[in-house]
Structure 1
């Protein structure tokens, strides 16, 4: 799909845009099935180790992870795109429908940024032992986890729920128009968060988004996640895109072209090569990825 002129102006004015119905069930089901297999494999390993009493195989995708987590939170340890590097997820990163939208905002030379995550926010009643910022993600700007050399890069966030993201299931709130102020100092304690003394004064907007829709954000748009008051897991995929050749903010991690009018042969289409690029990255878990 292509964005309308009104949508592009709204994004450029407000610093965010909610676009429903970008992807349909046919587009998302391979990713959901792949995640379900990943969770099933983790569950079976934990069951074999005696850490789970049941596999909850009859529970639907939106519920199974919550049931497993309630019995053994270890099920979610390290769960992220980089931890399993699935083929269906790779296809999603460069999906034509997503890239069409990016092209409306950044032009035709586009790369998928290495900041890419899948998140499973369990019901808050199951997360009593988690740090509060796991449920109530504090106010932050996405540029706060990029290196300063990417300050001039236009890096756009695409946040995509795999279930309906509502006030009940734990959607985001955003501060409209504040992106025009640029970067605000952050702290890394208790999750990456804007320094409370620097928090902009703006009325937040609830960014509810249906499954298959997108919340698109400028890298300077302050936003936060609210708690999941429902009985299901709020699954979401969190991606970034930038112009090919511009600093990604994560130079030690792999970006890859997803569209190129000038060099179409440069577009990465091989999931195996994508895996090799990530597997070649040294463990950077202990490296500081937060700006202050």
Structure 2
């Protein structure tokens, strides 16, 4: 899906873009099936260890994780992309429809930034008040990269695996604020913009149905909202940039996903990708990832 000139202009003017019908069911199904299989394996392991009393094996993708999470927080301990290292997620990083959108803004020499996440936001009734990570506070994605990437155009691509609506805890976005550049962040309450620097700007409720995509400038403030529904809000957030520019995470593996000039450099080695993440996570343990006070 290539962006139209009007869509590109909207993104350049406001710092975000909400797209519908980017992905087909056949694009997303391998991802959800792989996550379901991984979740089932992890649940059975915890059940064998006596940490889960009920597997809820017949529950659908949208509900099972919440029921497991209510019994043991450990169910989510290795869920993220770089920890689960599922091949379906690795393959999705090169999804042609996704790269067409990214290429519309960045050109045809694209690298996948190593900041990439699979997230499961459980309904508020399952999370408890201590799980503040469920509702990410106001922040800019530039705040979680090191200074080396200040001149890199790193764009966030956020997509839901279920409908992300107000009741399921979609994002809120501050339009136009990206022009102010990097705002100071602090660690209190999660990596967040220092309250005194938070712009006085009416946010946009960024509802996005399954199959859609939200594109954001790295300086666009955004936050999560509570999931008050009865289902899990599953989402993936990825970042792409021009090949050769600093990533802001030099100790984590980035790799080309599209190249018109050197197509042979595109990363397709799944086993190599896994090994690089294993080594990087071990070697970077304790590294400062966020720029905070």
TM-score class, shorter: over 0.9
TM-score by structure 2 length?
0.97
Tell whether 2:262 aligns with 1:263.
Answer: yes
Distance 2:34 2:82 in 1: 14
Tell whether 2:203 aligns with 1:204.
Answer: yes
Distance 2:61 2:83 in 1: 19
Match of 1:25 in 2: 25
Q: What SS class does the counterpart of residue 280 from structure 1 fall into?
A: helix
Match of 2:97 in 1: 97
State how 1:73-152 maps to structure 2 within 5 Å: 73-132=73-132, 134-152=133-151
* Structure 1: runs of 5 or more not aligned: none
| Higher mean C-alpha deviation, range 68-77 or range 82-91 | 68-77
Q: Deviations over 1:75-133 (max 9, x none)?
A: 1124201111111001111111100110000011100000000000000011114333x
Q: Deviations over 1:225-249 (max 9, x none)?
A: 0010001000000100010000001
Match of 1:290 in 2: 290
Match of 2:64 in 1: 64
Q: Could you tell me how far 1:282 is from its partner in structure 2? A: 4.2
Match of 1:232 in 2: 231
State how 1:169-188 maps to structure 2 within 5 Å: 169-188=168-187
Q: Deviations over 1:27-77 (max 9, x none)?
A: 101000110011101100111111111111110000111111112222112
* Structure 2: runs of 5 or more not aligned: none
Distance 1:36 1:204 in 2: 34
RMSD of aligned residue pairs (Cα, Å) = 1.0
Distance 1:191 1:113 in 2: 22
Q: What SS class does the counterpart of residue 50 from structure 2 fall into?
A: coil
Check the 8 A contact 2:78/2:84 in 1, yes or no.
no
Distance 1:247 1:18 in 2: 27
| Higher mean C-alpha deviation, range 102-111 or range 282-291 | 282-291
Q: Could you tell me how far 1:276 is from its partner in structure 2? A: 1.9
Match of 1:36 in 2: 36
Distance 1:228 1:196 in 2: 23
Match of 1:7 in 2: 7
Q: Could you tell me how far 1:286 is from its partner in structure 2? A: 2.1
Distance 2:226 2:270 in 1: 34
Large movers: runs of 4+ above 3 Å: none
Distance 1:78 1:282 in 2: 12
